Amino acid sequence: MINITDGVISNISAETTPTLNRSTFTLSLADFVAEPEHIWGISVRDSLGRHTGMNWTTGGIEREIPGSYYTGHYNKPPSDTPQVLVVYPPDNSLEVVYHALECGDGTTLVTKEPDVLVLTSSYNEATGTETATVIAKRGSNGEHLWEEPVTGTAPNLIVSAGDLDEDEKGDVLVIMTTSELDMTTFTTNTAARLIAKRGCNGEPLWEEQVIGTELFLSALPAGDLDGDKKRDVVVHIHEYDEATDTTTETVIAKRGYDGKRIWTTEPDGPIWVGSAWADLNGDEIADVLLGSHDLVYALGYREE
């Protein structure tokens, strides 16, 4: 018999546990000796149409879904050696199909939908504040997981951050910004707050608050920026000083699980943060790309 549990297909003796950031599909042919004329397999397609599994035309293995791999396909049944497909991270829905390898048709065993974040908000014109609620919902059925109220005078932002604390579940970055005009100096004072929250229950992992004038804060999930094999976060702070007509840009690499600074850099002019995932120099540590109007900067790991 095939055992299906929350997106994982396995026989009883080889069951694995799914996580939000990794989907492992395992199939054993030990229970299919009654149909030795067939060669069975597992195939996965995501909602973008990308495929991992056997290509029926070429007979080769396809790995179109980024980060996926496929091993142990059968050349003759029956076999006790499991066939394994690992696909991670499942940023969109996955459809797992169990089929005979000599034809492209199959039976859909399970579909796996990612969990979702919803931001609802309302604006109070009298106070100039926005009140919002971050809601985490289960992707398969819309079940309410948790919610958190957030407030500010600028639009609040939520970012899916991947697994920051190694609990094998996705986490969330929440950004709240409040600005107030100083009528004495006619400058806009801004307080921006970044909170990393545990995705399963909304519990805070760490937070950072930045105060300045004409300030804008953004954050992006990153790969492993310091070589500890854990996901990290890149923070970009843009600040404008109207009195001196100068702009200050700060880019901070932060450890994903506790928010500790890994490194900080202050470019000379306006920049935007591009990629924070690729290893550009082969040191097995993710690097960061920054761009300005005429230059692209590549930043690698360094100790402060």
pLDDT digits (tens, 9 = 90+) for 255-282: 999 999 999 988 877 777 766 667 888 8
Let me know whether 241 and 161 are in one domain.
yes
Are 26 and 156 members of one domain? no
Closest to 171 measured CA to CA, from 235, 273, 89, 66:
89
Q: What is the pLDDT of residue 24?
A: 62
What is the signed CA dihedral for 267, 269, 272, 278, rounded to 10 degrees?
-30
Q: Residue 216 is encoded by which pair of tokens?
A: 């804008």
How many domains, in total, are found in the chain?
Answer: 2
Whether residue 35 is predicted with pLDDT greater than 50 in this model: the reply is no
Residues 99 and 11 in one domain: yes
Residues in the chain: 304
Q: Are residues 213 and 278 in the same domain?
A: yes
**Is residue 123 located within the same domain as residue 170?**
yes
- Looking at the structure, tell me whether residues 63 and 50 fall in a common domain: yes
> How far apart (Å, rounded) are the C-alpha atoms in residues 179 and 212?
10
Tell me: do 193 and 285 sit in the same domain: yes
Residues 107 and 134 in one domain: no
Asked which of 79, 96, 112 is the last residue of a domain, the reply is 112
> How far is it, in rounded angstroms, from Cα 66 to Cα 63?
7
Round the average pLDDT of the chain to a whole number and report it.
72
Supply 227's token pair. 């070589």
pLDDT at position 256: 93
Contact 172, 161 (CB under 8 A): yes
Which CATH number is 93's domain given?
2.60.40
Please tell me the least confidently modeled range out of 22-26, 58-62, 130-134, 154-158: 22-26
- Please classify residue 92 by burial: count the beta carbons closer than 10 Å to its beta carbon, then call 0-12 exposed, 13-18 middle and 19+ buried: middle
Beta pairing class for 187-197 and 204-213: antiparallel
SS3 for 60? Answer: coil
Say if 168 falls within a structural domain: yes
Q: Which domain holds residue 188?
A: 116-299
Lowest mean pLDDT of 78-82, 140-144, 201-205, name the range.
Answer: 78-82
Handedness of CA 200, 206, 212, 216 (dihedral sign): negative
Q: Are residues 128 and 245 in the same domain?
A: yes
pLDDT (average), residues 217-239: 89
